[in-house]
């Protein structure tokens, strides 16, 4: 597979020497690379050309393993910092990865014998004598990075955590200069997450300021066939696709391999008058409360996810009001509720005339039931059900090697996944009794 570049005016062969008044990185790039002894590979060239192009403010690089993601990010960051009074933020998923960027910046500074006026290891901030600063941050401590103005924000390994709110709410306002930019670079982790969303914006004409680059192991000439053969033998097919093919469709640890092309549809006009309509309800207290509405076609033996509800920090009355609206809209026959939420079940019945049935909660059996439906394309999801689609993509096995048996990882996607599992598994194993 060839290097994939979303915009036709971004070349991949050589670094483009844009006029100095137009290009983002003001200093000559290749002489800097030569001093470091670096010959940039095609994916790095494409990313540099994308960020240097004055048309694009937001660049996404979906690249495979061993493409020098972190290294090229830090080089871009330092090239920017060599211009006086420029401010760079290098974001990482966590403290450990942030420390890698901090150490790299120190190495680059030492290599070029740059004068440093501040080197704060605790806060991971470096200030050069020219007034420029390079700050390292992590998604889980994003508040420490706000309140400043940045010329460039780089998100390294962006797909490892959910950084949508960190960027949209906390950091995007800090890009308050006309020519400030953001670079998101990572190996993909599924297709329904913030990084994938940002990546596909680069192919969408409705987002003209976005550009994207995708590179597989083929774009790294330093890979040998022996390296690739060894990787194929030592990895699952999902892990190889993720790590070496930069594939958004599958990844290691993914529980359900949902067929996006065949099983996502516009169901707004679907005739459900002859179908059974059910719902799964996972009650959260500190966590969100999740509900999904599902119709079953007995003739085609297919389930259709019609609607969803997900919200946190709301009262029982507020949840009940939303659920009552869905009951009325779809004429829901049965609601399968988490059997641990008996107080909520009682309150719903007594105070809000919402009748529920205890769901069957065998986790692995329920996951297996959903997997069977997914694998046979018997689960169709309305394209507007974002949370259901996210859980189908991002629900993962817990990687803890000390577990006695497999269990799903508890994360932001677990709640809707539980609601979906309650609905489908309980209905499938109980429907003959109705």
Active site annotation includes 268: no
Helices of type H across 235-356: 237-245, 260-263, 316-330, 342-352
Task: Report the side by side order of strands in the sheet with 264-265.
Answer: 264-265, 379-382, 302-311, 289-297, 276-282, 334-337, 357-358
Instruction: Give the count of alpha carbons within 13 A of 296, CB side only.
Output: 17
**DSSP string for 48-112:** HHHHHSTT-SEEEEEE-TTS-HHHHHHHHHHHHHTSTT-EEEEEESSHHHHHHHHHHHHHHHHHT
Q: Which of 12, 157, 219, 369 is catalytic?
A: 157
C-alpha Rg value of the chain to the nearest Å: 25
Q: Give CA–CA dist 420/363, Å, rounded.
A: 12
Look at residues 77, 179, 180 and name the one whose alpha carbon lies nearest to residue 125.
77
The Cβ of residue 271 has, within 10 Å, a number of other Cβ atoms equal to 8
Kindly state the helix (H) or strand (E) to which residue 335 belongs, with its residue range.
strand 334-337
Angle between helices 316-330 and 342-352 (to 10 degrees): 70
Q: Give CA–CA dist 169/172, Å, rounded.
A: 7
260 and 273 Cβ atoms separated by less than 8 Å:
no
Q: Give CA–CA dist 133/88, Å, rounded.
A: 6
Give the residue numbers annotated as catalytic, written as ranges: 157
């Amino acid at each position: 597979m060839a290097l994939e570049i979303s915009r036709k005016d971004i070349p991949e062969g050589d670094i483009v020497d844009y006029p100095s008044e137009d290009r983002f990185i003001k200093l000559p790039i290749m002489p800097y690379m030569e001093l470091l002894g670096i010959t940039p590979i095609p994916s790095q060239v494409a990313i540099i050309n994308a960020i240097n192009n004055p048309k694009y403010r937001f660049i996404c690089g979906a690249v495979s393993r061993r493409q020098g993601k972190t290294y090229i990010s830090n080089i871009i960051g330092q090239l920017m910092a060599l211009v006086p009074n420029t401010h760079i933020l290098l974001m990482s998923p966590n403290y450990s990865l942030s420390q890698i960027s901090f150490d790299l910046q120190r190495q680059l500074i030492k290599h070029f014998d740059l004068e440093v006026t501040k080197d704060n290891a605790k806060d991971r901030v470096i200030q050069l004598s020219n007034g420029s600063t390079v700050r390292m941050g992590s998604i889980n401590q994003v508040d420490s990075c706000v309140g400043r103005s940045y010329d460039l924000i780089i998100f390294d390994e962006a797909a490892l955590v959910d950084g949508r709110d960190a960027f949209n709410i906390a950091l995007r306002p800090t890009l308050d200069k006309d020519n400030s930019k953001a670079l998101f670079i990572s190996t993909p982790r599924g297709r329904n997450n913030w990084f994938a969303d940002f990546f596909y914006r680069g192919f969408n004409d409705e987002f003209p300021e976005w550009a994207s680059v995708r590179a597989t192991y083929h774009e790294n000439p330093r890979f040998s066939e022996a390296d690739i053969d060894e990787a194929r033998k030592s990895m699952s097919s999902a892990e190889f696709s993720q790590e070496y093919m930069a594939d958004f469709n599958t990844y290691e640890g993914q529980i359900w391999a949902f067929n996006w092309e065949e099983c996502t549809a516009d169901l707004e006009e679907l005739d459900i008058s002859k179908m059974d309509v059910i719902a799964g309800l996972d009650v959260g207290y500190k966590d969100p409360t999740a509900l999904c509405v599902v119709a079953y076609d007995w003739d085609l033996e297919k389930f259709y996810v019609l609607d969803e509800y997900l919200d946190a920090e709301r009262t029982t009355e507020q949840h009940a009001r939303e659920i009552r609206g869905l009951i009325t809209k779809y004429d829901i026959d049965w609601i399968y509720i988490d059997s641990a939420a008996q107080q909520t079940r009682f309150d719903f019945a007594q105070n809000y005339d919402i009748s529920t049935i205890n769901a069957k909660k065998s986790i692995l059996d329920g996951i297996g039931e959903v997997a069977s439906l997914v694998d046979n394309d018997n689960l169709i999801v309305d394209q507007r059900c974002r949370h259901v689609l996210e859980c189908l993509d991002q629900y993962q096995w817990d990687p803890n090697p000390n577990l006695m048996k497999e269990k799903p990882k508890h994360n932001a996607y677990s709640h809707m996944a539980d609601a979906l599992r309650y609905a489908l598994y309980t209905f499938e194993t109980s429907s003959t009794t109705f």
